[in-house]
């Protein structure tokens, strides 16, 4: 059973992983990730962490914040873990560049809500 008390901690994990990915995308290019599997799988691991932390959020929290597609985020984690052979650096890069900049401020706001 997921604990409500842990939602803030899970959100903090999501935010930390987002920051690592956004920072990493400034230091590395998708071409570097294509050439170096250690770099690529470092990015993949952080996306997995976002998905796992999302999975661990309580149903009540997720239901009360429908502006995020939690199921899509969780589903990405499943693809990365179980369909790892089909993931490319370009797919991961699209998530980092297209989705995370929009998700980050929402997560920050949710953490702030939990702190009040």
The DSSP element (H or E) to which 12 belongs, if any, is helix 7-27
Spot the catalytic one: 10, 13, 62, 77.
77
66-85 CB burial, b ≥16 within 10 A, e <16: eebebeebbebbeebeeeee
Q: What is the mean pLDDT of residues 30-36?
A: 96
Spot the catalytic one: 65, 82, 90, 104.
82
For the chain, how are helix, strand and coil distributed in percent, rounded to 5?
Answer: 85, 0, 15
**This model's pTM is above 0.85:** yes
| 82 a catalytic residue | yes
Query: How far apart are the C-alpha atoms of 57 and 54, rounded to whole Å?
Result: 5
Q: What is the mean pLDDT of residues 16-44?
A: 97
Query: How far apart are the C-alpha atoms of 56 and 89, rounded to whole Å?
Result: 26
Report the mean per-residue pLDDT for the chain: 94
| 2 a catalytic residue | no
Give Dmax over CA atoms of the chain in angstroms. Answer: 45
Confidence of residue 5 (pLDDT cuts 50, 70, 90): low
């Amino acid at each position: 059973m997921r604990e409500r008390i842990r939602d803030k901690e899970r959100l903090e994990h999501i935010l930390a992983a987002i920051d690592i990915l956004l920072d990493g995308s400034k230091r590395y290019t998708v071409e570097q990730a294509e050439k170096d599997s250690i770099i690529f799988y470092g990015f993949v691991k952080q996306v997995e962490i976002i998905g796992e932390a999302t999975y661990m959020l309580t149903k009540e929290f997720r239901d009360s914040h429908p502006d995020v597609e939690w199921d899509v985020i969780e589903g990405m984690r499943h693809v990365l873990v179980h369909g790892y052979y089909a993931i490319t650096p370009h797919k991961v890069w699209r998530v980092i560049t297209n989705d995370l900049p929009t998700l980050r401020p929402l997560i920050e706001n949710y953490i702030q809500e939990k702190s009040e």
